[in-house]
Structure 1
Amino acid sequence: MTITPPAGLLSSPGPGLAVLDPTHTALFHGLDRLLSGLAEGLAAHEVLGPPLLPAEGLVRLDYFRNFPHLGVPVGRLSTDAYEALSDGGTPDGLPLSTTGYFLPSATCYGLLLALTGRDVGDSGLRLSGTGRCFRNETHYDGLRRLWGFHMREVIYLGTKDGAIEHLERGGEFVEQLADRLGLDLTRATADDPFYDRGTSRAKLMALDPVKHEYSAADGTAIASVNRHRNFFGERLGIRAGTSGPAHSSCVAFGVERWVHAMVLTHGSADAALAVLADV
C-alpha cells in the first residue's frame, strides 16, 4: 500500500520546533550539500561537533555576558519527577538538577573548545560541519526563527591574513551560490557576537566591522561571515605556529533559513526543489 505523505510543513511538536515533510527534507539535504561546497573548495576537514557544551568553557568565551538570554541549559530530573511523569503528570514545576552543560547555540563553539591549547601550525586549520543548534528566543516564526535548527559552519584558524582571505572567499561563495539559486540577497554589517560592547575590542569593531550578514528578500539572515581576530586564540590558548595566538574566522549558514528563502523566492517547496535539481 502506498502512503501519500502530507504536503507542506507537518504540525510542529512544540513552539519553535518544525518537522519537515519529504519535499522540504529533500530541499534541506540538497542545500546542505551545496553549502558544503565551500568546505570542499577550501579543503576544510569535515567533522562532527559535540551535542553539549561545558558551561566552564563558555564562561571563558564571555558567552553568558554577551548572550545571557540564548543559552539552553541541560538538567536532570529526579527519580520522583520521573515517577510523577509516568503517572501522567506534567513537567511544569518538576525539580531539575544542573549538569554544568548547555546545548550549543552555534556549531563553532564545540569545535573551538576542542582545540583548546592546540597549535594549528603556520599553515593553519580549516574545519566544517553541520550541527544541531538551540537558542532561546523571544518569539518563533516558522523556519525563519526556530528553537532547534541546523547550522553549517566553515571555520579557519591561523594567521590574520589567512582569516581575512577565508572570509573573502566565503563571501564570494555565498554570492555566487545565491545567484545560481535565484536568490536576491542583501549584505549588511551586523553586530558582532563575540565582543563585550563595553570593551576596547567592541570600539575597534565599530571602526572595523567584523560581521556581515546576507539576508533574503523578507529580511531573514541566512548566512554570515565573521572575523574573530585573535579572540578565541587568546581565550583558548590556540596558537598558529610562529604567528602567536591564532586568528580565526567563520562562514555560517542557517540551513532551515536557506530552505525558507528558497520557498519564499520560488513559491513552493516543489518549485524550489526543481530549481535545486538544475544547479
Structure 2
Amino acid sequence: MSEVKINPEGKVALVSGGNRGIGKAIVVELLERGAKKVYAGARNPETLVVLKEKYGDRLVPLKLDVTDEATIAEAAKVASDVEILINNAGVLKFDSILGKDAAVNLSDQLAVNVHGVINLTNAFVEGLKQKDAAAIAVVSSLAGLANMPVIGTYSVTKAAVHSVTQGYRAELAERNVLVAGVYPGAIDTDMTKDMEMGKDTPENVAKAVVDGLAAGQEDIYPDVMSEQLGVGYGSSPKTIEKEFAKFIG
C-alpha cells in the first residue's frame, strides 16, 4: 500500500486505448467520479464522438498510437496537465508458445503492450513528478503472473509489463507518484470474445481501478477471477500456474 492516494475528483487524467473495453469504462468511471478532465487516447478519435457529446469539454478525444512516437510526443504537449496516467492500450493474440508464429506474434504484441507503456510513460513522467500528487496505473493481466497456454505470447508480454511496473515503482519511490499494477482476469471485451469462460464486466474493472488509486493500492485485482487467484499469488505463485495450465488445447 502506498502513502500516495489519488482521488479522481478535480483531477486531470489520460487513458490510452480509451475508446473501448476496459479503457472506455475507466474514462467513464473517472468522469462520473468527478474528474476535471479526461483525455481519451485512441488511434481514431472519431470513435469517441458519443462520449464527447455526453461529457462535453471534460472529455478530450486525443489521437494516440502508443507505437508511434510522433503521436506520443504531441499528446505529451497537449496533455501536459495530466495527473493520472492510465496505460491501458494493448493487443492480444491467441496462440501457443510452441506455435510456428510465436516469435512474430510476440514481437507484434511487445510493440504495443510493453514498448507502448514505456514510451508513453516516459513521455509524461517528468510532468507527473512535478505535480503535488500523481498516479501511473498500468494494466497488466493475471496472465502476466503465470503463463496461460492459449495466450502464450501475450502472457510473456504481460509478464514484462509486470516487471516494467515494478521498475517504475522503484524509480519513483522517493516521488509523490503512486504506481499501480492492474491484474484483470477474463473480462467481457472485444479482445476476449473468443475465450469461453466466465467473464467480469469492464465497468466492474474500472470501478476497482479508480477505487484502488483512491486507496493507494499498488496491486489491483479488479474482478472476481483476479480476486480469487491474485490474492494468493504472494504466498503461492504455483497456484495460478497450475490453474492456467488446465487451459491447454
Shared fold per TM-score greater than 0.5: no
The structure that is strand-richer by fraction is: 1
Relative to the length of structure 2, the TM-score reads 0.30
The structure that is helix-richer by fraction is: 2
Relative to the length of structure 1, the TM-score reads 0.27
